Chains A and B, each alone.
Chain A
């Protein structure tokens, strides 16, 4: 079943905070991750879909039916909360059986189904325990089993991995994805962890200041960000403010770069994006976009190395497997993306000048 938001706006009473004109579709079986900095409105989107908040404008459709004014309990949505919100006075089995109890399923049947769901998440041996007796990862699994046991129309995950340690987080990503695919359920995953979003989702939605900036596949978001904010939030990025010199060259703090500047006029201010892994160590065969400098910071990251090279008035961040000393790098023209400056960035630059 699909979830659809049509031009939804909401403002928290007495504040300017909320979401503005949000349109979003989650198709059946699709996993959509919403990412953005704290306060960008991503949890508000979840609360609106869940029915915890009512939109000021716009419509929310569940399975094509208008659910804008439907109370939470009638929306048939499985929700996993950030802190799991398990019921501490109930056992694992009772927690999972609770939605079935509310639907009038007989005691025997709900016990059978609850135990089956608990087994699906690998916690059969813990069915009789209370939530406080479980680890964070186990509580997470119980919350998932409880959210899925009644075959909801969609699954909403509100930063469910944020309370776990790094190793458990990676493990749970696969677990969540496995369960989501097994149930073929439309899923909205709220997270501030861009790596989590990119690795799990079919579609990633980037939000800032209550608005959707870009929605697309993880690779689209990473490879073709629409603006500086998206580029900066998703993955590592070299972002320089530059001034267009002509159709082939742009002036940046690290020096003059050759790039495709079609569509821009000389004198235009632009944002220049180069992903660190697209910067090549060593001199360029043709000498174009080649820079030399000194390493300001060098980090060993296990499978690769990330270092900052001080060049001219700026810094170039480089990711490479090369371990030898490097003082020259080059950037292929195809690795350079020219983005329009965000309105806010533009204003900031104007103020500075």
Chain B
């Protein structure tokens, strides 16, 4: 078989990459550049006005706490689910992965309404708990509309992402290592802590960064559930762009900061992934 020459191979690769590059340029880079330029109008005054507002800082803190909390909950639960899936037969695992991945196809709004129907004041679970244990529906339903409730709801569609990322890692983990550790004198917990955790931690950290970035940038679910009751940056941004009299430079600055946060989280995840890959072998 003849090998294609280097220039023609480069041309082929470039032509394959072109549609993606056009999409990236038209729908991400160009709008981002416009927003970036907008944010720097009047010498970066938009950033000054934004950073001088206490509401921004409390919104930033809430956003980071929400991202970290939802990310942590999702990574813990998702990793446990993935560990279980890694230990069952391949056919059953494939079937369960299909079911687990379903929430990824729902929009944030659908998820929010689903939780309202389930855990809202007249929700199925709320009324069931009232009927069975006399739980106060108003007090119980308040949870789902709180920042903690938001983290809980976010976990619904973040956990499948974690499961998808962690299952291959755990399937490939050689469980003989745990048996070896036990034969060498380690208890089960010690073997997991010394052998399993260090090996899957990089993947878990990558998963955390990814889902934290998703949680930081998400607004649809939050909007449907809590409206403007919870001060987080995506809802601040939504409110600002909905306002016809908005300070566009300030709004653009807010968008840039939110983009930066999500990109930073993703970059940390990518860096961990690359480090994990290069540290594995030669």
Contacts and interface: CB of A to CB of B under 8 A. Distances in A.
Interface of A: 50, 52, 71-73, 75-79, 81-83, 85-89, 98-99, 102-103, 130, 132-133, 146, 150
A72 B280 CA distance: 29
Contact of B179 (A52, A71, A88): A52
5 contacts: A73-B183, A73-B187, A76-B185, A85-B174, A87-B180
B174 A83 contact: yes
B180 A132 contact: no
Contact of A79 (B180, B198, B199, B281): B180
A87 B195 contact: yes
Contacts, number: 60
B181 interface: yes
Contact of B181 (A71, A98, A132): A98
Contacts of A98: 181, 184, 194
Given A73-B187, A133-B282, A85 B182 contact: no
A75 B182 CA distance: 10
B199 A85 contact: no
A95 to B, nearest CB: 9
Contacts of B174: 83, 85
A146 B177 CA distance: 13
A132 B282 CA distance: 7
B52 interface: no
Nearest to B282: A133
B185 A73 contact: yes
Contact of A102 (B177, B179, B184): B184
B176 interface: yes
Interface in B168-222: 174, 176-177, 179-187, 190, 194-195, 198-199
Nearest to B195: A87
A281 B215 CA distance: 83
Given A102-B190, A132-B281, A85 B185 contact: no
A132 B182 contact: no
Contact of A87 (B177, B187, B190): B177
Contact of A85 (B177, B186, B280): B177
Interface string B145-186: 000000000000000000000000000001011011111111
A85 B282 contact: no
- Which 4 interchain pairs have the tightest Cβ spacing? A85-B180, A85-B176, A99-B184, A102-B185
A150 B184 CA distance: 8
A85 B175 CA distance: 8
A89 B186 contact: no
Contacts of B186: 73, 102
Contacts of A52: 179
B185 A79 contact: no
Contacts of A132: 280-282
A85 B187 contact: no
Interface in B238-277: none
B267 to A, nearest CB: 24
Given A50-B179, A85-B180, A87-B177, 17 more contacts: A71-B182, A73-B183, A73-B185, A79-B183, A83-B174, A83-B176, A85-B174, A85-B179, A87-B180, A87-B181, A88-B199, A89-B198, A89-B199, A102-B190, A132-B282, A133-B281, A133-B282
B195 to A, nearest CB: 6
Given A85-B177, A132-B282, A72 B182 contact: yes
A234 to B, nearest CB: 29
B155 to A, nearest CB: 29
A146 B184 contact: yes
Interface centre among B179, B183, B194, B195, by most chain A C-beta atoms within 10 angstroms, is B183
B246 to A, nearest CB: 51
A50 B183 contact: yes
Contacts of B176: 81-83, 85
Contacts of B282: 132-133
Contacts of A86: 177, 180
Contacts of B187: 73
Contact of A99 (B185, B198, B280): B185
Contacts of B194: 98
A71 B190 CA distance: 14
Contacts of B183: 50, 72-73, 75, 77-79
Nearest to A99: B184
Most buried by B among A71, A75, A99: A99
A130 B280 CA distance: 8
B197 to A, nearest CB: 10
A86 B174 CA distance: 9
A86 B177 CA distance: 7
A130 B282 CA distance: 9
Contacts of A99: 184-185
A281 B184 CA distance: 55
Contacts of B199: 88-89
A71 to B, nearest CB: 8
A170 to B, nearest CB: 25
Contacts of A146: 184
A146 B182 CA distance: 13
Contacts of A75: 183
A73 B182 CA distance: 5
Contact of A88 (B181, B185, B280): B280
Contact of B180 (A71, A81, A89, A133): A81
B185 A103 contact: yes
A103 B184 CA distance: 9
Nearest to A156: B183
A85 B199 CA distance: 13
A314 to B, nearest CB: 45
A90 B195 CA distance: 9
A147 to B, nearest CB: 8
Nearest to B175: A85
